[in-house]
Amino acid sequence: MKIRTGIGYDVHQLKEGLPLWLGGIRIEHTHGLLGHSDADVLIHAICDALLGAAALGDIGQHFPDNDPSYKGIDSKVLLKRCGELIAEKGYHISNIDSIVCAQRPKLAPHLPLMRETLAQVLNIPVDDISIKATTTEHLGFEGREEGISAYASVIIYD
């Protein structure tokens, strides 16, 4: 058995009046994330971690943001595809850990549903996916509420 690790990082800008999609669920907020897809920054970080673990490139390579077929796409579709790509290479997901950095809104109450949602998309037990949230103490672009960032780390094995 070979064990492999991957990391992912993503950032999207916050804009007033857009829907906020995070971890595969819609969250009520004054602002939402701007992007070619639904801009789910957490899912994008997880996709990159999965692809990275299997040395399959990155999310921009697989789902180019100038491709009209991905315009406004539900990022859960991209995540499902990334799961299939690593399965096609013979890998299984051991576990996923992740962090969302956002000053607002408060994400703690939403984390259980995000975990359930993403576990279902990837067809893994909910205990194998961890999602954490932190503010940045009003520092940096996340702290100024200009954007939200996310980090993910995964372990896969064959």
- What is the binding site for Mg ion (CB under 5 A)? 10, 44
Give residue for tokens 């994330």. Answer: 33
Closest residue to Mg ion: CB criterion: 44
Beta strands 92-101 and 129-134 are: parallel
Query: Smallest distance from the beta carbon of 11 to Mg ion, in angstroms?
Result: 7
Residue 94 or 145 with smaller CB distance to Mg ion: 145
Min CB(125)–Mg ion separation in Å:
26
What is the closest distance, in whole angstroms, from the C-beta atom of residue 44 to Mg ion in the complex? 4
Nearer residue to Mg ion within complex by CB, 78 or 93? 78
CA–CA separation, 24 and 58 (whole Å)? 19
**Least distance from C-beta 128 to Mg ion, angstroms?**
23
Q: Is 113 in contact with 25 (CB distance < 8 Å)?
A: yes
Contacts of 49 (CB under 8 A, 6+ apart): 6, 7, 8, 96, 98, 152, 153, 154
Q: Which is nearer to Mg ion, 59 or 129 (CB)?
A: 59
DSSP letter for 66, please: T
Spatial separation of the C-alpha atoms in residues 32 and 10, rounded to whole Å: 15
Cβ-based nearer residue to Mg ion, 3 or 34? 34
Nearer to Mg ion, 86 or 150 (CB): 150
How many angstroms from the chain centroid is the CA of residue 117?
A: 12
Rounded to the nearest whole angstrom, what is the least distance from the CB of residue 16 to Mg ion in the complex? Answer: 19
**Coil/strand/helix, residue 114:** helix
